[in-house]
A = this chain, B = another copy of it.
Amino acid sequence: MLGIMLDHKSKVSLKRQIYNHIKDGIMTGRIKAGEALPSTRDLSKYLAISRQTVCEAYDMLLSEGFTESRQGAPTRAIEGLNLGYEATHQMTQSPKQKKAVIKADFSTGQPDLRCFPGFAWQQSCVRGMSNMSLDQLGYTDSQGLEALRDEISAWLYRSRGMIANPRDIFVTTGTTLSLHILSSILYREEKDIVVEDPCHMGMLRALRQKRYSICPVPVDAHGLQVEQLNGTRACMVYVTPSHQFPLGGILPAVRRAELIRLAQKNGFYILEDDYDSEFRYCGEPVAPLYSMDNQQVIYIGTFSKILFPALRVGYIILPESLHKRWQYFRTHTDVQNSPFEQAALAEFLKTRKLDKHILKMKRLYGERRSVLLKSLEELFGQSWRSWGDAAGLHLAVQFPGREFDKKLIQKCKDAGVNFRPVEYHSILKGGHCDKILLGYGHMEPDEIRNAVGLLSEMINPPYSV
């Protein structure tokens, strides 16, 4: 009857099977418009199941408008439903992607996840969760948990003498979201978003997603060439003053003051991305631009380089004039952060576990940096020089006279040696062809030595001095 075959072992309930079968029949035309369905009594007898089950299936069809029923008349399929094709849904397995065998991985921005204090973090998660009130399971507020904002403020003060009011701190899910929203809030027609050139391509794409006008300004070994800002029509300037990405310079105080003076005069905002200044191996972390001016400077921080990238918690410090606009956009972009991660991080900060972890990792990364420099010296002699300040998780290396073109990069990649040329991050191409980036944070000393060995095999022979 109607061709229905029930599968009594299926996880799908019998009434759902009946419903599905009749619905498909109507939509594919196997059951014609106006055709009467068998009575519930007949169908239940035929299928040898309870009449109740069939009635429930018929009710579903009726309430969703696939059938109609008039007092005393049989239930009929409704008109206008035949879409003329079989609904073809297939459950296929997603093909596993083939991964090239990587022998030397110099990718940047990778903390060493093997050192992640998993147990301490788990403790913080459980404690954070049990301290949460019921209210915090509802929609709370796009600004973030007060406890976390207080802890971030205290941490900024003790780690870098920076004074930030918890009221001005807005929790985010990371720098990408911060830039995505800021570019919407701060962009003005006929104006430019000024970025450093070279700069992080992911961040550039977050800023330019809406095809806003981008104006690149070159950097040198000391970061952004601020004097070249004259004549630009900036509405915001995106900078990494503590450790320029990717070339590594610290913006000198004179340029900082000049940048702030320009921002005050021309009314643009400075987006200060402080992505890894915790890891500075000579002396203290650099004091942020924000400490010089908290009205024109918007400070953007993240925990993904300190803890782990998948932790989607960052923050942004905003002048009061932007609070409302930020909250409106944040609410209608992704509403708010999850409270669990926020509570866990607040606990992790409060119990000083973050401080301990940074201290440990700073020593470790510093050692790895030394190993990298020494290996380069051993294998490349005098043919290279490093750029930028002793900070972060990667090194920018220049090989004067050599050219890292696409062919060479691909050749290395095919041999399992992965690294990015600085040119990848350049907007105006051609200025940094002799420089590459070597991420070392995620590698053990032995891995670094091996990786540099493989690198030298790839790029030394044809170019050897």
Contact = CB atoms under 8 A, between A and B. Distances in A.
Contact of A312 (B12, B309, B332, B337): B337
Interface stretch (A231-239, A247-255, A362-370, A409-417): A247-255
Interface stretch (A1-9, A85-93, A375-383, A427-435): A85-93
A451 to B, nearest CB: 18
A334 B173 contact: yes
Interface stretch (A34-42, A191-199, A268-276, A291-299): A291-299
Given A91-B163, A138-B113, A309-B139, A333 B63 contact: no
Contact of A122 (B129, B311, B331): B129
A312 B338 contact: yes
Interface in A45-89: 56, 59-60, 63-66, 78-83, 87, 89
Interface string A1-32: 00000000001100110011001001100000
A335 B176 contact: yes
Contacts of A16: 161, 284
B341 A165 contact: no
B284 A12 contact: no
Nearest to A255: B65
Contacts of A252: 64-65
Nearest to A167: B94
Nearest to A114: B134
Query: Could you say how many copies of this chain the assembly holds?
Result: 2
B138 A284 contact: no
A283 interface: yes
A206 interface: yes
A83 B293 contact: yes
B177 A261 contact: no
Contact of A333 (B209, B256, B308): B209
A310 B137 contact: yes
A206 B287 contact: no
Contact of A180 (B251, B253, B332): B332
A136 B310 contact: yes
Contacts of A202: 331-332
Interface in A93-114: 94, 110, 113-114
